[in-house]
Amino acid sequence: MTKTFQASELRTKVAAVLKAAGSSDDESKRVADNLVYANLSGHDSHGVGMVPRYVDASIEGGLKTNAKAKVLLDAGSMITVDGQRGYGQVVGEEAMQLGMARAAETGSCIVALSQAHHLGRIGHFAEMAVARGLVSIHFVNVLSRPVVAPFGGADGRYGTNPCCIGVPMAGREPFVLDFATSRVAQGKMRVAHNEGRQVDEGYLIDEHGRPTTNPGVVVVPQSNGLFGALMAFGEHKGYGMAVACELLGGALTGSGTWHRTPDTRRSVVNGMLTILIDPAKLGTKEAFEQEALAFVDWLRQSPPAPGADKVRIAGEPEREARVKREREGIAVDDSTWGEIEEAARKVGLSLN
């Protein structure tokens, strides 16, 4: 069963919970807007379903409400920022604002953001940059439970490390490629497990490192108290991208990498290395604009494959989802809504 909400109603309810959990009016509104926008974009795994985890993490102390980004280094095209465990939706935007202003001045900027609490949809940050005509590249690591197995390994050693590339398209909607480096999102396995479904082969290994189609292996501890793991997308290539995200998003930013046994802490800490480029300052703007548009037009002329309606570019499915969900509302399943109500109760609020 599901409940369907209009985006505005969901924003108001979520902001109320976040405020009761300690956030200022401004922070609770910004985080709620970001989460609901993820739902609108079709990414429920990064939408309002995160609220219970955020509430628990702030009660435990791993998430610091009302923390601001702290600039550690500001040296020309290099900016290093400590997220101080603040909401990623807030400190991530602060870091991006600094980087975008600098890239507009100098042509490029590298922003190393460490210790942000969960940044949510990384595509949000690329969308901020492409809206200002900037190319935006992001490598992110995730310090929470190690749910993804290294290629050739038999247990989880790192997180779903997302990678994102935004490219503005002159006069058209941008290319925004934004993906986890695991073959499938952990949140989708939880849904399949709750619904009693098996998943396709090639997504999971069990707690002994053997292939399985049982999503429960990454949701509940198995017979020996251990979890199974997700596989990387694209075998050794996706695994290599994930390691690059850990090395660049975790090590190079100073945020930290995962190399300890799992624990039950609820916080999700992200490090993000962002590279911003202003095509107007690279001297190739005209060619870039023409060639990028010509290539995308060429792609779209490919005849639809059997079972497909048309060729899309990255960012398009999210834009289509927004149009549909703004119109039809956002469906939230009963178990997720029940968890949000429970989170509200923990901070003394009734959502009814």
Ligand X SMILES: NC(=O)c1ccc[n+]([C@@H]2O[C@H](COP(=O)([O-])OP(=O)(O)OC[C@H]3O[C@@H](n4cnc5c(N)ncnc54)[C@H](O)[C@@H]3O)[C@@H](O)[C@H]2O)c1
Q: Interface residues with ligand X (CB under 6 A)?
A: 43, 45-46, 118-123, 142, 160, 162, 164, 176-180, 185, 268, 270, 312-315, 317-318
210 vs 116: CA distance, rounded Å = 34
Q: Reduced to 3 states, what is the DSSP secondary structure of residue 258?
A: coil
Instruction: State in angstroms the smallest separation of the CB of 181 from ligand X.
Output: 8
Instruction: State in angstroms the smallest separation of the CB of 22 from ligand X.
Output: 21
39 vs 86: CA distance, rounded Å = 22
Decide whether 33 or 341 has the Cβ nearer to ligand X.
33
Decide whether 336 or 344 has the Cβ nearer to ligand X.
336
Instruction: State in angstroms the smallest separation of the CB of 88 from ligand X.
Output: 7
Instruction: State in angstroms the smallest separation of the CB of 159 from ligand X.
Output: 7
Decide whether 101 or 331 has the Cβ nearer to ligand X.
331
Beta strands 269-277 and 135-143: pairing type? Answer: antiparallel
Contacts 24+ apart (CB under 8 A), 254-263: 254/80, 254/112, 254/114, 255/113, 255/114, 255/115, 255/116, 255/141, 255/143, 256/114, 256/115, 256/143, 257/141, 257/158, 258/141, 258/143, 258/146, 258/157, 258/158, 258/159, 262/145, 262/146, 262/156, 262/227
Q: Which of 220, 73, 44, 243 is nearest to 150 (CA)?
A: 243
233 vs 107: CA distance, rounded Å = 33
Decide whether 114 or 344 has the Cβ nearer to ligand X.
114
Decide whether 109 or 180 has the Cβ nearer to ligand X.
180
DSSP state of 247: I
Instruction: State in angstroms the smallest separation of the CB of 83 from ligand X.
Output: 12
Decide whether 68 or 310 has the Cβ nearer to ligand X.
310
118 vs 209: CA distance, rounded Å = 28
Instruction: State in angstroms the smallest separation of the CB of 312 from ligand X.
Output: 4
Instruction: State in angstroms the smallest separation of the CB of 349 from ligand X.
Output: 26
Decide whether 162 or 250 has the Cβ nearer to ligand X.
162
Q: Quote the tokens at residue 313.
A: 């570019």
327 vs 349: CA distance, rounded Å = 29
